[in-house]
Amino acid sequence: MRGVTSPSTTTETTTYTSSATISPADYRMVARLVGFYEYGHALRNLDQLVSICSSEELAAIDKIVGDRDEFTVYTDLGRRFQRGPSSLIAAASPTDDRAKRGLAWVMALARVELASMLVCFTATPQPYELVGPTPFDAAAYMTLLHEGALSHYWALVNDPMLEPVTRMSPLHTEVLAYSRRLVIARGLLRATMKAQHGNFSPIQLREISAWKEGLDSLQAGLVAKIELFLQHTEQQQVTKTSVNRGLEYVSACAKLLEIEQRELKAGRAQVIEK
């Protein structure tokens, strides 16, 4: 008996589910920033020094620090990023006025840098207040805080990358980085508003509040986008079809086949092709 199987079709449907995860925040990373450990140690020493020195000694110390070029701190950096008028920036100051010297400026710079690192990489509540100034360096601190807020705001709003980043998929690292950038900018604006509250005119207060609200909503948009992306799961079905060729086979009695072979070999039989 001779037989055949018809071609068979195998259809395999696989369902893939995609889900996004974000690597966890690691607050220890702040220690990798050059300046975190260093400014922290600097302030621990200098804060204690200020607390035990007389005003005469502090004046002498201020002179020691002020006489050394390496401790000069240039200020008013926000102006570099300014593109339009603002009530929040003072009239242009001569170059000499921007080069600040003395212990108070040294301490103030360390505080703003350290607090910014905390706000950017940890969940420390109100870091600018936590490392806030002593009466000795309060004025310098307020100046550098204010300058930091202006620099970050203007650099951000004038950054040509900002708009494309808001449209990018959160899979691009830039989205997370800009979100972090907004955290620091908003932190500086908030701290400045709090520290300068009594000193700002109503116009200044309105302007800085509007800035903060603008950045708040920008960040809210980015965060919402990231969260939505993380919550979203996508299912995809892939169907594969494979066709198996048919099979021909012969089934016969083994004894008969053996006889057939023998008869053919002996010449007593022959195959007639039809």
Partner 1 sequence: MKLSHRVLIFVLMTWPSLAAVTTAAPRNVLPRGVQELLDSDVIPAYMQGDPQWLVTSLSQIVARVTPERVVLINQALSQSNLPSVSELLLDARLSLVLQGRSQVLPKPHPNEILLTIAPVEQAIEESLEFAQSIAVMQDPLPQIDSLKAFEKAFWDAHVLRNRLRTARMLAEYGQAMVREAKTLRPKQIPAEQRSLLDTDFAELDSRLVAAGLKLEERSLELRVQRLALAAKICEGDAPIRERLEAAFVGDLDGELLEQFFTANRDYPFQNAMLRAPGTLKDIQSRSQRVRESPGDLVKKGRLLFEGLHWWMRGRYGQGPEGNGMLKSMQALTDPVALFSLYMPVETPKPTDPFDTSQYSIPEIDRRHHHIWQFEYRRINVRQAITSRQRTQSGGEVKHSITKFDRFY
Within 238-267, the residues that bind partner 1 by CB under 8 A are: 244, 246, 256, 259-260, 263
Instruction: Compute the radius of gyration of the chain from its Cα atoms.
Output: 38
Give the residues across from 249 on adjacent strands: 3
CB of 22 to partner 1, least distance (A): 5
Q: Is 55 in the site for partner 1 (CB under 8 A)?
A: no
Residues 61-90 that bind partner 1 (CB under 8 A): 61, 63-65, 69-74, 77, 79-81
CA nearest to 150, candidates 119, 94, 196: 196
Q: Cα–Cα distance between 103 and 138 in angstroms, integer?
A: 12
Q: Which range binds partner 1 by CB under 8 A, 93-101, 129-137, 197-205, 214-222?
A: 93-101
In the list 6, 85, 123, 266, the residue contacting partner 1 (rule: CB under 8 A) is 6
Q: Cα–Cα distance between 146 and 75 in angstroms, integer?
A: 10
Cβ proximity to partner 1, 29 vs 210, nearer residue: 29
CA nearest to 28, candidates 135, 138, 93, 123: 123
Cβ proximity to partner 1, 159 vs 207, nearer residue: 159
Cβ proximity to partner 1, 188 vs 193, nearer residue: 188
Do the Cβ atoms of 139 and 114 come closer than 8 Å? no
Q: Is 45 in the site for partner 1 (CB under 8 A)?
A: yes
Give the contacts of 66 (CB within 8 A, at least 6 positions apart).
Answer: 101, 102, 103
In the list 86, 89, 120, 207, the residue contacting partner 1 (rule: CB under 8 A) is 120
Q: Is 22 in the site for partner 1 (CB under 8 A)?
A: yes
Give the contacts of 241 (CB within 8 A, at least 6 positions apart).
Answer: 9, 10, 11, 12
CB of 77 to partner 1, least distance (A): 6
Q: Is 130 in the site for partner 1 (CB under 8 A)?
A: no
Residues 165-194 that bind partner 1 (CB under 8 A): 170-171, 173-174, 176-178, 180-181, 183-184, 188
CB of 5 to partner 1, least distance (A): 5
CA nearest to 157, candidates 193, 177, 182: 182
Do the Cβ atoms of 178 and 222 come closer than 8 Å? yes
Q: Is 136 in the site for partner 1 (CB under 8 A)?
A: no
